[in-house]
């Protein structure tokens, strides 16, 4: 059986062994950008189509330039990018455009801090391509006459553009988007929302509360694969969030207090028990203290049900639908390599996201042409076979990067490459 908890434990055990290029190690459970659901073997409900994620709602012009890093104006090359986009239902707006300097470096007005997506724009490539790097990680690519990339949330700083097979007249710049402050559809309070849907999860109940009170909601149905995400935001340290009728709780300081707690804090509270019709939480000062009063705190919970059945691979459950890199992805292929051959992934029409299902593995490493030197780590040598399980390198293969090498050790080791494509 594979679960998000198992994935977390595996990643925590091997975190020091993963190649981490300038803070860019991106295992899904650690970065919480791929908001995977828990993998339990409870019966799953019928599949639902995920929400379209990147929607243009107006455009603005971008200027190319190689030696002038000033913000772009509307007069050159007539390449147009959306003024507003949506990422998982959250509206983002264009806040900056910046041209690459002669050495490819891109210097933004302000460092990337908080939720941000960027798109690469490039012209004059001929048959070549332009790749946007964040540190040692390739995060976006434009080929030929494509002109602009899909927005990505993987750019965290140290941006530069590299050209391959393009004439010297090629130009590039980035468009930077930040949240408008509007929230995605769902149950919201004080700048946070339990989204109606994320990844393969759908919201069935949610509530928010304030100091001295509780957050409570009716649970319409406790059947199926449920999990509870928590939210607690306060400038006061040492507050604890408790579920009514249980002992223990979770330290509010340990919870992600961002605007998307459903995905960020999955499985942070005990789920409802069979037949339970009401669910409530409250906050205390200290783990065993009294209910918190007189403090500025907003807290709550969201109960989610798995809405898309997992896919069984090597006797473990792999995600059928996931969120990563500002998009929703659906499992499209499960590839098997014979005789130690590399995996060939079709990226001729765009990038793909990959996962690795494994069983009986004593060592595993993953790499591809576009990955940083040293690949993306995996499972270091162990005495006992590991698996069955699933792991994710954490960033997509960019268009044109099609060969994936998975090296394994173990007398009975089995590996499958999971190929996800954008919905």
One domain for residues 327 and 364 = yes
371 pLDDT band, cuts 50/70/90, is: low
Cβ atoms within 10 Å of 190's Cβ, excluding its own: 15
Q: Give the whole-angstrom CA distance, residue 268 versus residue 57.
A: 36
pLDDT of amino acid 109: 84
Q: Give the whole-angstrom CA distance, residue 65 versus residue 98.
A: 9
One domain for residues 218 and 292 = yes
Q: What is the CATH number of the domain that holds 103?
A: 2.60.120
* Least confident span in 231-240, 265-274, 328-337, 413-422: 265-274
Considering the domain boundaries, does residue 17 fall inside one? Answer: yes
pLDDT in tens, 67-76: 333 344 332 3
pLDDT, greater one: 77 or 41: 77
What's the mean per-residue pLDDT of the chain?
81
One domain for residues 258 and 360 = no
One domain for residues 23 and 70 = no
- Look at residue 44 and tell me whether its pLDDT is greater than 90: no
Considering the domain boundaries, does residue 193 fall inside one? Answer: no
pLDDT of amino acid 62: 40
**Are 358 and 387 a contacting pair, CB within 8 Å?**
yes
pLDDT in tens, 301-358: 999 999 999 999 999 999 999 999 999 999 999 999 876 789 999 999 999 999 999 9
One domain for residues 69 and 174 = yes
Q: According to DSSP H, which parts of 255-382 are helical?
A: 261-264
SS3 assignment, position 410: coil
For 101, the token pair is 């300097």
- Quickly list DSSP for 85-104: EEETTEEEEEEEEEE--TTS
Considering the domain boundaries, does residue 189 fall inside one? Answer: no
60 pLDDT band, cuts 50/70/90, is: very low
Query: What pTM value is reported for the model?
Result: 0.79
Dihedral class, residue 132 (left if φ above 0, else alpha if ψ from -120 to 50, else beta): beta
Total domains present in the chain: 3
| Listed residues 256, 277, 306: the one ending a domain | 306
One domain for residues 40 and 75 = no
* Domain carrying residue 80: 59-179
Distance of CA 266 to the CA centre of its chain: 13
Q: Any idea which residue has 């991106």 for tokens?
A: 26
One domain for residues 233 and 258 = yes
- Look at residue 124 and tell me whether its pLDDT is greater than 60: yes
Mean pLDDT confidence for 201-208? 96
Mean pLDDT confidence for 198-222? 93
Considering the domain boundaries, does residue 293 fall inside one? Answer: yes
């Amino acid at each position: 059986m594979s679960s998000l908890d198992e994935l977390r434990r595996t990643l925590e055990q091997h975190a020091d062994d993963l190649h981490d290029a300038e803070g860019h190690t991106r295992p899904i459970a650690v970065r919480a950008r791929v908001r995977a659901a828990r993998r339990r073997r409870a019966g799953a409900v019928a599949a639902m189509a995920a929400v379209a994620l990147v929607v243009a709602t107006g455009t603005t012009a971008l200027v190319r330039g190689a030696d002038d890093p000033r913000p772009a104006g509307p007069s050159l090359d007539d390449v147009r990018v959306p003024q507003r986009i949506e990422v998982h239902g959250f509206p983002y707006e264009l806040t900056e455009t910046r041209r690459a300097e002669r050495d490819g470096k891109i210097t933004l007005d302000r460092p990337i801090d908080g939720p941000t997506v960027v798109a690469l724009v490039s012209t004059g490539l001929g048959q070549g391509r332009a790749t946007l790097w964040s540190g040692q990680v390739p995060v976006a690519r434009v080929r030929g006459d494509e002109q602009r990339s899909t927005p990505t949330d993987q750019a965290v700083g140290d941006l530069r553009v590299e050209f391959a097979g393009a004439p010297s007249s090629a130009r590039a710049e980035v468009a930077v988007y930040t949240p408008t402050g509007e929230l995605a559809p769902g149950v919201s309070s004080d700048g946070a929302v339990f989204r109606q849907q994320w990844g393969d999860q759908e919201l069935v109940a949610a509530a928010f509360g304030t100091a001295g009170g509780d957050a409570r909601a009716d649970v319409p149905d406790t059947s199926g694969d449920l999990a509870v995400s928590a939210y607690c935001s306060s400038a006061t340290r040492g507050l604890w969030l408790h579920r009514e009728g249980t002992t223990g709780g979770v330290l509010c300081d340990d919870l992600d207090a961002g605007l998307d707690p459903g995905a960020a804090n999955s499985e942070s509270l005990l789920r409802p028990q069979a037949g339970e019709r009401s669910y409530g939480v409250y906050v205390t000062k200290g783990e065993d203290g009294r209910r918190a009063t007189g403090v500025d705190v907003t807290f709550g919970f969201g109960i989610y049900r798995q809405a898309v059945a997992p896919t069984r691979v090597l006797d473990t459950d792999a995600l059928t639908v996931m969120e990563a890199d500002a998009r929703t992805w659906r499992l499209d292929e499960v590839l098997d390599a014979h005789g130690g051959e590399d995996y060939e992934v079709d990226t001729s029409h765009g990038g793909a996201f990959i996962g690795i299902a494994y069983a009986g593995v004593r060592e595993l490493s993953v790499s591809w042409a576009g990955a940083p030197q040293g690949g993306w780590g995996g499972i270091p040598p162990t005495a006992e076979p590991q698996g069955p399980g699933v792991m994710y390198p954490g960033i997509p293969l960019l268009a044109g990067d099609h060969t994936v090498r998975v090296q394994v050790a173990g007398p009975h080791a089995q590996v499958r490459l999971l190929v996800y494509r954008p919905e």
